Amino acid sequence: MIAVSVALTMLSVISAVPWSVSTLSRRQDTCPLNVLSCSPREVDRCCLPEHGLLLLVQQWDITVGPRNKFTMHGIWPDTCLGGCDDNRIFFDIERRLKEYPNKADGFMQQMETFWPSNNGDNNCFWSHEWNRHGTCVSNLDPSCKSDPVEGEDIYAFFSKALELRSKYDLYQALAAKGIFPNQGAMVNITRILNAIQAAFNVTPSLRCKNGALNEITLYFKVKNGDQYVPVQPPRSDWRGNCGETVSFPPKNE
């Protein structure tokens, strides 16, 4: 049985993702309910991702995106080392997303706003993310569906990532604890970790670049096909390569 639910409400503000995407195939007669991916129980690869720990990686790049939002780097199956299905590797992902007939209104605008390339080549960036990571989300495989629509797997991958980015708004979480971009000011790393923990009840992992906050990663497991559940990171290297304090510069105007 295929459950497809795409809300088509127009965006009221550019930072919102008002639709709930559920284009994954659910074999409701065979898929177990409420079993998390990576559990000891063997589950059909069409029910839950084989690589069942997924990383939602958002970045703070001062050259792209809205001044008060993190943008997407990607959503990565943790055990995927670089592509899982050569038959679904494509280098024209932007075109495929534009031509997918069932996408929500405003979807491409969301992609361009919240998943931009910092070198201006969105297609190259999105194709890389799909080829390296999207093909590893096993329950998106068209073979899991009885009547797949061309491009549905690609759309499901990117739209789910945008949905999660909107739900787990890192800028808002930091702002709620008084942490804002500030040229020249330094922020204690513990304040950042605690702010994310307070907002989402999980600990993130961080990465820095030249002493500046660069990426924040949240970890998820999956249940019921497409319900992403935040979990604690598997390792304790939460601060990554960041020092005790980091800069959090404002974005370029």
- Read off the pLDDT of residues 56-81 as tens digits, 9 standing for 90 and up: 999 999 999 999 999 999 999 976 66
3-state SS class at 218: strand
CA distance 199 to 230: 12
Residue 18 lies in a domain: no
Is pTM beyond 0.75 here? yes
Listed in sequence order, the DSSP H helices in the chain are 93-99, 107-114, 122-132, 152-167, 170-175, 189-200
The pLDDT value given to residue 147: 85
Domain membership of residue 196 as a residue range:
54-248
Whether 176 is in a domain gets the answer yes
Residues annotated as catalytic (active site), given as ranges = 73, 129, 133
Kindly state whether residue 136 falls inside one of the protein's structural domains. yes
Distances in whole angstroms, Cα of residue 57 to Cα of each of 111, 113, 161, 200, 206: 15, 16, 9, 15, 10
| pLDDT, position 65 | 98
Q: 15 in a domain, yes or no?
A: no
User: Across the strands, what pairs with 222?
Assistant: 228
Please report whether residue 211 resides in a domain: yes
Which residue type occupies 172?
Q
CA distance 130 to 90: 8
Question: If DSSP codes are grouped into helix, strand and coil, which group holds residue 60?
Answer: coil
d(CA 70, CA 62): 9
Task: Give the mean pLDDT of 128-136.
Answer: 95
For 5, other C-beta atoms within 10 Å of its C-beta total 10
Count: domains in the chain: 1
Q: Which helix (H) or strand (E) holds 244?
A: none
Does 192 fall in a domain? Answer: yes
Asked if residue 40 belongs to a domain, the reply is no
- Res 52: pLDDT: 85
Instruction: Find all residues with CB under 8 Å of 88, minimum gap 6, and list them.
Output: 135, 141, 142, 153
Q: For residue 195, what is the domain's CATH number?
A: 3.90.730.10
Q: Which residues contact 184 (CB under 8 A, 6 or more apart)?
A: 247
Each residue of 191-221: pLDDT tens digit?
999 999 999 999 999 999 999 999 999 999 9
pLDDT tens readout for residues 83-114? 788 899 999 999 999 999 999 999 999 999 99
Half-sphere exposure of 90 (CA within 13 A, CB side): 16
Position 10 in a domain: no
